[in-house]
Structure 1
C-alpha cells in the first residue's frame, strides 16, 4: 500500500482531518468520500494509480477524524463551504482535478457549477443525486425531523474489528478480507468502554428537513464548464433511491444530459462501492481521463 499522511486543518470553525498520498510537488487530485465513509476509503484506488499524484482527501465534517459540528443536522451547503475553503488552502486560485463518490460526487457536481473556474476536470462516481421532491412534502418532512430530535440517533457498537469487518462485508459482499480489515481500522475505533464505534456523527442519520430540489441541482450542473467523467458501477443498485430501475434509468440519463461536456463509463463486476470492488479498472479509467490533459 502507498503510504498516507494525516494533516489537521481549521476549516470554518472545525478541525478537519485531511489525508495525503504522494509527493507535495506532484499534480494534485482531490477526492471526496460519500455518506458514512472516510477518506482512507480511496486507498485501494490510490494504490493502483500509475502516475505520480498528490492525492488530497478530507474526512467530511462529522466523519472519520474530522471534528463533529455539534448541531442537530448537517446542511448540504456546509459541504460546499468546506470544500471551497479546502481548495483555497491547497490550490489557491488554480483549477483542480476533483473526484467525488456518491454524496461526494453530488457535492463535487454542485460545486463545479457554482465555482466553474475552480475545476479543471471533474470525476463523478455514482453521484446520482437524490429523489425529486414536491413542496407539499415540506410539512411532513419538518415534522419527521422534529420527531427525530426527540430521540437522537445512536451508532451501533461492535465487539471488535472482526465484527466491523463482518458489517462492511454484509453491506458489500465483494469486499475481500484484506480490504475489509484495512477499512475496519479507519471506519471505526474503540470507545471508552472498549467497544468499536463507527467514526461518524449519529446526527448524520437524521433526515434532512430541507427538501432536495432537482431543478436547483440541475441549474448548477448546467453551469459546469469543465469536462466531466460520469462513472457508474455495472451492478449498482443505488438507483433504488429514485424508484424502480425502469423509472430510475431515464431520470438518471436526463440528469446527465444537463452536463455540457460529459463522458460516461461503466465499471464491470462492481457495486456502488466501485472504488473497493474494482480499484484497478477505476484507476485506469481515471487516468485515461486525466492524463492526456
Structure 2
C-alpha cells in the first residue's frame, strides 16, 4: 500500500450548520501564505495526498471535505446549491486564515468554485490554480422550464431510492471501482484511497458494506442553469495570477462531444487579466493522481 511522506491530521470546524472535516499538513509559518486545496465532485480532501507528498519543503496546507462529502457532516438535504460552496469556503478562510491572502487550488468542481470565489473575493487570493475546472456550456433561457422539471423529477427519484450510490462488499471492491474510473491509478494508491473514499456501515441484516462518502443528493441536477455570462464577469475581476492546468486527455471532448470545447474554455480564460495555461502529459481528469510529481513541479514554480 502507498505510504504517505507527509501524513495529515484531521480537524473539525463548525461552518454554516455543518461540521467541516479539514485535512491539515504542516503548521502556519510567518511570512508564508497558507495553501488551500479544494476537491472536486464525488471526491475527498485526501485525494490530494500524492501531490502534497511531491511538493518540496514543509508548507502549511489546508484541504476541506466539501459539505456532503468525506467526513463533513451536516443536516440532511435533497439537493445542493453551488453558491453554498463559495459561502463555505469564505467561512473556512475566516476561521483558518483570517485576512491573510492565500494560495488557492481547486480541482474539477472545486476548480469552478475557486474561479468564482476569486472573482468575488479577489483581495483574499495571492495565487490561483485551476485544475480542469472548465465550467459548462453556455445555457439559454429557453432551457429553464425543462431544467426545473428535470430537477423536480430527480427529487422524486431520490426519495424513491433510485439515485442511491452503489455500495461494495470490501475495501478491495472500492479500490477496484477507483481503478475502473481511472485506469491510470495504481493499485497501491487505490488501496490507500479506498478507506478515505468509503466507510464501512452495517446493513439491515448485520452484514458489512462499504459506502461511498458522498451524498446521493449530489447527483440531482441543479435547478439553476449555468450562466456563462455571469462566470465571465467573475473571471475578469480575478486580480491574482492564474495557472490553469489541464490534462493531455481531453475531458471536455469526452464529456460534451463538441458542444463545449477546450478552445471555448481557453477563450473564456482570456477574461482573466493574468493567466497562463499548462498541460500535463499522460494524464486524465484526475491529473493529481496520474502525475502528482509533474503537477507539484508546476505548482512549486508558479507559487514561488
TM range (shorter): over 0.9
Length-normalised TM-score, structure 2: 0.93
Q: Is the 8 A contact 2:252 2:262 kept in 1?
A: no
Q: Is the 8 A contact 2:252 2:261 kept in 1?
A: no
C-alpha distance in 1 between matches for 2:63 and 2:57? 17
1:106 aligns with 2:112: yes
C-alpha distance in 2 between matches for 1:169 and 1:270? 14
C-alpha distance in 2 between matches for 1:259 and 1:241? 24
Task: Give the equivalent residue in structure 1 for 2:190.
Answer: 180
C-alpha distance in 1 between matches for 2:149 and 2:181? 30
Task: Give the equivalent residue in structure 2 for 1:251.
Answer: 264
Task: Give the equivalent residue in structure 1 for 2:303.
Answer: 290
Picking from 205, 208, 211, the partner of 2:225 is 211
Deviation of 1:241 after TM superposition, in Å, equals: 3.6
Show the 5 A alignment for 1:201-280: 201-244=215-258, 248-280=261-293
Deviation sequence 1:166-223 (CA, Å, 0-9, x none): 1111110000011100111100111122101100011001111111000001100110
Picking from 140, 145, 148, the partner of 2:151 is 145
Q: Is the 8 A contact 2:120 2:234 kept in 1?
A: yes
C-alpha distance in 2 between matches for 1:74 and 1:253? 28
Show the 5 A alignment for 1:117-132: 117-132=123-138
1:16 aligns with 2:20: yes
Query: Secondary structure at 1:207's aligned position in 2?
Result: coil
Query: Secondary structure at 2:261's aligned position in 1?
Result: helix
Q: Is the 8 A contact 1:131 1:241 kept in 2?
A: no
1:52 aligns with 2:58: yes
Deviation sequence 1:30-79 (CA, Å, 0-9, x none): 00000000000000000000022111000000000001442221100000
C-alpha distance in 1 between matches for 2:252 and 2:75? 27
Length-normalised TM-score, structure 1: 0.96
Deviation of 1:238 after TM superposition, in Å, equals: 3.6
Deviation sequence 1:239-262 (CA, Å, 0-9, x none): 4444328x5122111111111100
C-alpha distance in 2 between matches for 1:33 and 1:176? 20
Query: Secondary structure at 1:231's aligned position in 2?
Result: strand
C-alpha distance in 1 between matches for 2:253 and 2:90? 28
C-alpha distance in 2 between matches for 1:150 and 1:93? 43
Q: Is the 8 A contact 1:236 1:270 kept in 2?
A: no
List 4+ stretches of structure 1 deviating above 6 A: none
Task: Give the equivalent residue in structure 2 for 1:30.
Answer: 36
Which shifted more, 128-137 or 278-287?
128-137
C-alpha distance in 2 between matches for 1:236 and 1:6? 34
Deviation of 1:15 after TM superposition, in Å, equals: 0.6
C-alpha distance in 2 between matches for 1:69 and 1:280? 38
C-alpha RMSD of the superposition: 1.3
